[in-house]
């Protein structure tokens, strides 16, 4: 039987986004993230996989090692709550600096979701994507998973624009734990919706 996953954006979704984060000491998780990830994994058996754009690497602002150290720090904090992220995938490229082919891994492209799904034997039809930006929602839609938009960093104008477009998320969550509750309701059959 295939796994199901909750794909997460990183900066602005799991942790506060201070812009091209290279210092693991700057990592601070949003309230409810540790508890939410633990619940998704322990109670519902989801794999937790991060999909993030990290163009700070190609811009020369941070290194791949910096990104890996930040990822390790996130899991170190989560370990304190007896949970963790299963895998981190990131795209270090940007079309302003790199070829179209290299930049294909950038959200809203679903390329990294497909890679993660193949490597971790994931059924996308039973999976979700949580993020704080339109590219996260679009990435999830492009990959054929249910999408949840967090109101952490996005303006109400951008939310309204998304809601009125073909890229409307399945759910808009006020915070991470609210997103987890939506997934729980879905999982328990309290919400019946067709997938995109």
pLDDT tens-digit map of 50-97: 999 999 999 999 999 999 999 999 999 999 999 999 999 999 999 999
Residue 195 lies in a domain: no
The string of DSSP letters for 127-188 reads -EEEESSHHHHHHHHHHT-EEEEESSS--HHHHHHHHTSTT--SEEESSHHHHHHHHHHHHT
Among the options 9, 66, 132, 134, which is catalytic?
A: 9
Domain containing 80 equals 4-187
Is 66 assigned a catalytic role? Answer: no
- Considering only residues 187 and 103, tell me which one the structure prediction assigns the higher pLDDT: 103
User: Strands 171-173 and 46-53, how do they pair?
Assistant: unpaired
Residue 183 lies in a domain: yes
Residue 192 lies in a domain: no
User: Other CB atoms closer than 10 Å to residue 119's CB: what's the count?
Assistant: 11
Mean pLDDT computed over 3-11: 98
| Structural domains counted in the chain | 1
Ranges 29-38, 127-136, 162-171: which has the least confidence: 162-171
Is the pLDDT score of 18 beyond 60? yes
Are residues 190 and 46 in contact, defined by beta-carbon separation less than 8 angstroms? no
Residue 12 lies in a domain: yes
Predicted TM-score (pTM) of the model is 0.95
Out of 118-132, 147-161, 164-178, the most confident range is: 118-132
- Considering only residues 187 and 131, tell me which one the structure prediction assigns the higher pLDDT: 131
Mean pLDDT computed over 180-196: 77
Taking only the tens place, the pLDDT of each residue in 90-141 is 999 999 999 999 999 999 999 999 999 999 999 999 999 999 999 999 999 9
Is 121 assigned a catalytic role? Answer: no
Residue 193 lies in a domain: no
- Which CATH number characterizes residue 156's domain? 3.40.50.1000
What does the pLDDT read at residue 195? 45
Residue 125 lies in a domain: yes
Among the options 11, 66, 132, 134, which is catalytic?
A: 11
37: pLDDT confidence band, cut at 50, 70 and 90?
Answer: very high
Residue 16 lies in a domain: yes
Are residues 195 and 144 in contact, defined by beta-carbon separation less than 8 angstroms? yes
Residue 95 lies in a domain: yes
């Amino acid at each position: 039987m295939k796994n199901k996953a909750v794909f997460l954006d990183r900066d602005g979704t799991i942790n506060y986004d201070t812009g091209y984060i290279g210092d693991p000491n700057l990592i601070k998780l949003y309230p409810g993230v540790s508890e939410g990830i633990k619940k998704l994994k322990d109670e519902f058996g989801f794999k937790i996989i991060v999909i993030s754009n990290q163009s700070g690497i190609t811009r020369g602002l941070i290194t791949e090692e910096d990104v890996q150290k930040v990822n390790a720090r996130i899991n170190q904090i989560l370990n304190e709550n007896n949970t963790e992220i299963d895998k981190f995938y990131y795209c270090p490229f940007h079309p302003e600096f790199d070829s179209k082919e290299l930049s294909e891994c950038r959200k809203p492209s679903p390329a990294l979701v497909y890679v993660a799904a193949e490597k971790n034997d994931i059924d996308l039809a039973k999976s979700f994507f949580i993020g704080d930006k339109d590219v996260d929602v679009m990435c999830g839609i492009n990959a054929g998973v249910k999408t949840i938009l967090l109101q952490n960093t996005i303006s109400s104008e951008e939310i309204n624009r998304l809601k009125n477009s073909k890229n409307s998320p399945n759910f808009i969550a006020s915070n991470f734990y609210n997103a987890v509750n939506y997934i729980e309701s879905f999982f328990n059959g309290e919400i019946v919706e067709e997938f995109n």
